[in-house]
A and B are shown apart, each in its own frame.
Chain A
Amino acid sequence: MTKLERTQEQQDYRQRALLHLGVAAFIIIAGMLAKGQFAWVAKYPRKWTIPLKNWIADFFEKLVYETKFFEGKAYEFVPTDVTRGFVSVMEYPLSFAENLFFKGFQDGAPMPWITFVGLAFILGHWVAGWRVSLIVGGAFLYLALFSVWQPSMDTFSLVIITVPFVFIIGLFLGIWISKSQRAEAVFTPMFDLMQSMPPFAYMVPIVVMYGIGDVPAMIATAVFAIPPVARCVALGLKTVPDNVVEAGKMMGASDRQMLWQVLVPTARKTIVVGLNQGIMQTLAMVVLASTIGASGLGSKLLNSLQKLNLGEALEQGLAIVVIAVALDRISAAYAARPPEYIDKSLSWVKRHPYLVIAGMFTIVSILLSFMFPALRVLPDEMTVTTAPMWNAGIDWVNANLYESVQGFRNFVLIDVLIPIKTFFLAIPWPTFVGLIALLGYRMGGWKLALIVTLLILFPLTVGLWKQTMITVYMIGTASLVCIILGFPIGLLASKSERASRVVILMCDFFQTFPSFIYLIPVIMLFKVSDISAIIAVLAFALVPMIRYTNLGLRNVPEGTREAAVQLGASPWQRLIKVELPIALPEIMLGINQVIFMALFMVAITALIGTQDLGNEINRAKSGNHTGKALVAGFCIAFLGIIADRIITAWTRERKSKLGLT
C-alpha cells in the first residue's frame, strides 16, 4: 500500500502508536533519572504501606476466638462451633463412602475390588459402549493390580462425595447468574478472583475456621471447583436458542416449568461439560488438599516426595491420572450421549437391562469374593509395583547425567536468569506502575487503565513489591519460554491431522497430571533453584499454548487460505501475512491461559523453595497466618487479572476488526 492510499484511520492509528511509544520512553527515562534523586522512587517507603495482613489476621482472630453469640445464655456459641458442627455433619456421607469403598462397615468387609471394577465396566458400556467401558474398567483394574487400591479408593471417596456438592451448588449459582444481571455482576469478578487465587492462599483461613482433615479439604476443593461449573451452567442456559425459549413461553410454561423442563434439558450438554470440569478440578485439588489433611493418594504422594522416594511418587501420581482419565471419559461421554428412545410399554426389566445386569453382577461377585478372598482384597504378592524400576532409572540418571546437567544449570542460572531477575528488580516502581497504566489505556481506554493501576498498586501498598516483582520475573520468563516452545509445536500440529491427534493426546495427558508431579524430575536434576521452579511452571503451562496455537491456526477459514495460495503466496508468506494475523486473537487467549497456569504453579513451586509470593504463602501456611496468606494470594490473583483484562481487551478489539465476532 502506498503512502497516498493510506486511509485516515491508519494514519491516526500510527500517530497514536507513536505518541504512546513516546510516553513510554518518557516514563522509563524519568523513572531512571528520578531513581538516583529520590529514595522513595528507588524503594517504596515502608511507612507508606498499609498493614492489611494484620488487619485480616485480627479479623479472623476476633471471628474465631473472641466473638461469642448470645453471651451468657445457655445457648451461647462461638463461630467455630458452627463451622466444626458443619464439619461433623459432612463427615457422615464421607465416612459412608469410605466404609463402602475401602474401610468396611463395622465387622463387615468393604466392597470387593472385583465388584467395583466390574461395575465400572458396566457403567462405561451403558454410557458409551465398549471403548469407554474398556477405558473406565481398565483404569480401575490398573489401580487394583498396581497396589494403590486403598489410597485410590480413599481419594475416590472424597471425590465422589465432593463432586455432587460442587455440582449442585454450581448448578444453582449458574442458574441464578443466568437469570439476574445483578448476580452476574457480583459473581463474575468473585469467580475471577477465586480462580486466579492460588488455592494455598485460601486454605489458611479454611484451616483456621474448619480445622484439618478431609472435610476442610472438601471445602477448599469446592472453592476451587465451583466457579467453572457455575460458569458453564450459566453459559449453557444463556445460549439456549431464543426460539426454544419463546416456544416454551407460548405453551404457557410457568417459570419453574421453563427452567426445569425447557432450559435445563436443552442446555444439558453444556451443563454436563461443567460437571466434567468440576470433576477434573476436584481431582486436581485433592492432591493440593492433602497439605491440609486430605488422606489418600495426595497425602501418599506428598509423603513420597518429602522422602525423595520418587519411584513411588510417580506411581501414586499415575494413579491420580488414571482416576482422572476414567472420570473424565465417562462424564465427557455422558455429555455427548444422544438421548435414547425408551419404549415405555416394555416391562421394567426390559427397560433397564443395565441395572438388572449390574445388580446380578454385584450379587454374584460378592458371593464369589467370599469363596475366593483374593477377589475381595488383592494380596500384596499378586500386585505389581514399578517403583523399583523407576528408582533404578533415577539412580542411573543421577549417576550419569548429573555433571552435564550441573553445567547447564549453572550456565542458565548465572548467565540468563540472574541478569533478568536483577533487571526486573532494578525497575523503579513508578516506572512499572506507569507502564502498566499506559498499556491498560492503550488496550482499553481510561477505564481499563484505572482498573489495572489500582490492581498493580495493591502489592505495593501492602509491602510485597519485591516478592511481586520476583513473581513477575518468574512467570514472565516461564511464559516467554512457553511461547517460544509451544508455538512451533502448535504450528506443527495444525499442519497435519496425525500430528494434531498425537499432540492433543499428549496435552490431555499432561493436563491431568497432578501439578506436584512436575516437581519430581525437576528437583532431581536441578535441585532447589529458580531454574527448577521455572521448568516446573513450564512443564505445566506449556499445554494451553500448544492447544490454542493449534486451534487458532486451524480455525483460519479455508477460503482465505485458498485465496492466499491462489495469489501465489509462499507457505512462509501465507503463515506470516495471512494465517497468523487471523489466528492471533486465539493464540493470545492461549497466552492468557499460560499466565494463569504459571501463576497457579508459582504457588506450588514454593514448596521447593523460591523467594516469590508463592513462598510468602507457603510460609504463612505453616504459621497459619491468615492475613499474610490472603494478602499474598491477592497479589498473585491481581497479577493474573491484570494480564487477563489487558489481553482480553486486545483480543476483543482485534477480533471485531477482523470481523470475527
Chain B
Amino acid sequence: MSSMQPNIKISCKHVWQLFGKNPKRFLQKHDYEPSFAQINEAGLIGAVRDVSFDVYEREILMIMGLSGSGKSTMLRCITQLLNPTAGEIIFDDVDLTKMPKKELMEVRRHKMGMVFQHFGLLPQRTVLENIAFPLEIQGIDQETRIKKARELVDVVGLTGRESYFPRELSGGQQQRVGIARSLAVEPDVWFLDEPFSALDPLIRKEMQDEFLRLQQMLHKSIVFVTHDFDEAVRLGDRIAIMKDGALVQIGTAEELVMSPADEYVEKFVTNAPRAKLISVRSVMGARLKTKPSASVNADAMLEDIAQQVMLSSKAHGVVDASGELVGSINKEQLVKVLF
C-alpha cells in the first residue's frame, strides 16, 4: 500500500444491529454501550455491535469471521437492506441511514452492485435477461441493455450460453451470471456476500482468480464477506475480523499475522502461509555498523528472500525502494517469525 493517505469511500460509524423487541429503546437505556451479556439477558440478538471501520477507494476489504458472527448483517447495514439500529453509514460523504427512500433507490441503481451466496437469479429469465435486468429496472431501452449484457457475458466467460436459464447452469456458471448482473450498472462499490462459498473447492479457486482478474480491470471499491481465512488472505487488501457481532481487528494480512489482537484471531492466523504474507520490513533489525556485502528489498516478502538469507552465514542489509539502507536481517530473525 502506498504511503499516501487513501480516500475514504464508505465510513461506518458505531453501527449496531440488534434483533428483537424494541432494540432502539434498549440501546438508549444502556447509553449505547450494553455488554454482550446484557443484550442476551434482554432476549435480543446482537448481530452487529458497535462496529466502525472505513472502506478506502479501490481497495478490497474482506469481512471475515465464523458463521453467525454478523458478517452478512454488517454488509446489509452498509447497503441499507437492513436499517441499522444505531450508527451512521457515510457513503461519498452522505449518511445513507438518513437518506429518503427515493434517493437511496437512485444510489443503489447507479453506485452499488451486489453478489449473493445463493446467486438470487430470477429463474424465469435467461442469462442475458438476468444480466440486463438492473438496466431494465432503470428504464434503459432494450437495445442498449442487451448490448451491455452481451459485453458482460463475454467478460465473465459465458459466451454461447446467453439464452440458457439459470436451472441449466452449474453453480459456478450461475455465480458468473450473478457477478455480471452486479456489474451491469458499472457500480462504484461492489458488495459480495460469500459469493464462492456454495461452490466446489476447485471451482472456487478458479472463480477467485477470475475475481482478481476482474478487479485489475475495474478497480472498484469492494466489500467482500467470507468465512474462509485463506480466501481473505488471497483476495483482500485488508481484512476485518468479526466475532459475535463485534469487530475484533482490522488490518492487512501481515498485520494480523504479526500481531493478532486476541486468541480468536491467532487461531485463524496459525495456519496462514506466513512467508507469503510477512515483508522484510516488519522483521528486520537495526542497521548494521559495517556495510553488508549483500542486501534485500524492504518490501519483498520473506518467501522471496528466505533462501538467500538462510544460505548465508552473515546478516543481509535491507534497502528501501530508493536504495537507502534501512536495516538488516539474519537467519535467526527469519527462523523466529517463520517457525
- B114 near A247 with CB under 8 A, answer yes
Interface string of A204-248 (1 = CB under 8 A from B): 000000000000000000000000000000000000010110111
A341 touches B137 (CB 8 A): no
Please state if A339 and B163 are interface contacts (CB–CB under 8 Å).
Answer: no
Contact between chains at B137 and A253 (CB < 8 Å): yes
Q: A250-B108, A268-B124 are in contact. Are A243 and B119 (CB under 8 A)?
A: yes
Task: Verify if A559 is at the interface (C-beta below 8 Å from B).
Answer: no
Any chain A CB within 8 A of the CB of B116?
Answer: yes
* Residue tally, chain B, CB below 8 Å to A: 35
Interface residues of A in 243-270 (CB under 8 A from B): 243-244, 246-254, 257, 261-262, 265-266, 268
| Chain A residues whose C-beta falls within 8 Å of the C-beta of B76 in the assembled complex | 246
Give complex CA distance A555, B69 in Å.
Answer: 35
Q: Does B81 contact A (CB under 8 A)?
A: yes
Give the nearest-CB partner of B109 in chain A.
A252
Contact B137 A251 (CB under 8 A): yes
Q: In the complex, what residues of B have CB within 8 A of residue A246's CB?
A: 76, 81, 114, 116, 120
Residue of B nearest to A343 (CB): B163
Which residue on A lies nearest to B107, using beta carbons? A252
CA gap between A244 and B124 in the complex, in Å: 12
- State whether B79 touches A250 (Cβ < 8 A): yes
Given contacts A261-B136, A339-B125, contact A251 B109 (CB under 8 A): yes
The 8 Å CB contact of B123, one of A257, A261, A266, A343, is A266
- List B116-133 residues whose CB lies under 8 Å from chain A: 116-126, 133
**B79 in contact with A252 (CB, 8 Å):** no
Contact A241 B120 (CB under 8 A): yes
User: Helix, strand, loop or mixed for chain B's interface?
Assistant: mixed
Known: A257-B137, A266-B123. A338 touches B165 (CB 8 A): yes
Does B33 sit at the interface, judged by CB under 8 A? Answer: no
Beyond A250-B108, A252-B108, A252-B109, whether A243 also contacts B137 by CB under 8 A is no
Residue of A nearest to B119 (CB): A243
CA distance A146 to B124 in the complex (A): 41
User: Complex: how many Å from CA A43 to CA B134?
Assistant: 70
Alpha-carbon distance A396/B315, docked complex (angstroms): 115
Cβ of B138 within 8 Å of any chain A Cβ, yes or no, is: yes
Which residues of chain A are near B136, meaning CB under 8 Å?
Answer: 261
| A interface bracket (residues with beta carbon within 8 Å of B) | 20 to 34
Contact A251 B165 (CB under 8 A): no
B124–A243 contact, CB under 8 A?
Answer: no
Contacts of A243 in B (CB 8 A): 116-120
Q: Which of A250, A257, A262 contacts B112 (CB 8 A)?
A: A250
B163 touches A341 (CB 8 A): yes
Contacts of A341 in B (CB 8 A): 126, 163, 165
B123 / chain A contacts, CB cutoff of 8 Å: 266, 339
**Is the pair B120, A251 in contact by a Cβ cutoff of 8 Å?**
no
Query: Among the listed A249, A266, A343, which residue makes an inter-chain contact with B124, where contact means beta carbons less than 8 Å apart?
Result: A266
Say how far A239's CB is from chain B's closest CB, in angstroms. 13
Q: How far is the CA of A546 from the CA of B101 in the complex (A)?
A: 52
A266 to B112, CA, bound (A): 23
Specify which chain A residues have a CB less than 8 angstroms from the CB of B106 in the assembled complex: 252
Does B105 reach chain A (CB closer than 8 Å)?
Answer: yes
A262-B108 CB under 8 A given contacts A250-B114, A252-B138: no
Given A243-B118, A266-B122: A250 touches B81 (CB 8 Å cut-off) = yes
B113 at the A interface (CB under 8 A): yes
Residues of A within 8 A of B191 (CB): 250
Contacts of A249 in B (CB 8 A): 81, 108
Question: B185 — which chain A residues lie within 8 A by C-beta?
Answer: 251
A425 → B minimal CB distance (Å): 51
**Once the chains bind, are B124 and A251 in contact (CB under 8 Å)?**
no
Within 8 A of B (CB), among A184-219: none
| CB < 8 Å neighbour of A251 from B116, B119, B121, B133 | B133
For A265, give its contact among B112, B124, B165 (CB under 8 Å).
B124
Q: Report B132-164 residues with CB < 8 Å from chain A CB.
A: 133-134, 136-138, 163
Distance between Cα atoms of A244 and B121 in the complex (Å): 6
- Enumerate chain B residues within 8 angstroms of A251, measured Cβ to Cβ: 108-109, 133-134, 137, 185
CA distance A341 to B134 in the complex (A): 20
With a cutoff of 8 Å between Cβ atoms, the chain A residues found around residue B113 in the complex are 250
Measured in the bound complex, the distance between the Cα atoms of B126 and A343 in whole Å is: 11
Q: Which residue of A lies closest to B181 (CB)?
A: A247
Kindly report which residue of chain A lies nearest to residue B146, judged by CB atoms. Answer: A344
| Smallest CB gap from B80: residue in A | A249
Q: Which residues of A contact B138 (CB under 8 A)?
A: 252
User: Of all chain B residues, which has the CB nearest A246?
Assistant: B81
Give the distance in Å from the alpha carbon of A257 to the alpha carbon of B139 in the complex. 11
Q: Which residue of B lies closest to A253 (CB)?
A: B137
* Known interface pairs A246-B114, A247-B114; A254-B124 also in contact (CB < 8 Å): no
Chain A contacts for B181, CB-based, 8 A: 247
Task: Give chain B nearest CB distance to A420 CB in angstroms.
Answer: 51
Write out the residue numbers on chain A whose beta carbons fall within 8 Å of the beta carbon of B137.
248, 251-253, 257, 261
**Mind listing 12 A-B residue pairs with CB under 8 Å?**
A241-B118, A243-B119, A246-B116, A247-B181, A249-B81, A251-B133, A252-B106, A252-B137, A261-B137, A338-B165, A339-B125, A341-B126
Report the 9 A-B pairs with minimum CB-CB distance, sorted nearest first. Answer: A252-B109, A243-B120, A247-B120, A252-B108, A251-B134, A250-B114, A341-B163, A252-B105, A339-B124
Interface, chain A (partner B; CB < 8 A): 241, 243-244, 246-254, 257, 261-262, 265-266, 268, 338-339, 341, 343
- Beyond known contacts A247-B121, A252-B110: 19 more, CB 8 A cutoff: A246-B76, A246-B120, A247-B114, A247-B116, A247-B181, A251-B109, A251-B134, A251-B185, A252-B106, A252-B137, A252-B138, A253-B105, A253-B137, A261-B137, A262-B122, A339-B125, A339-B126, A341-B126, A341-B163
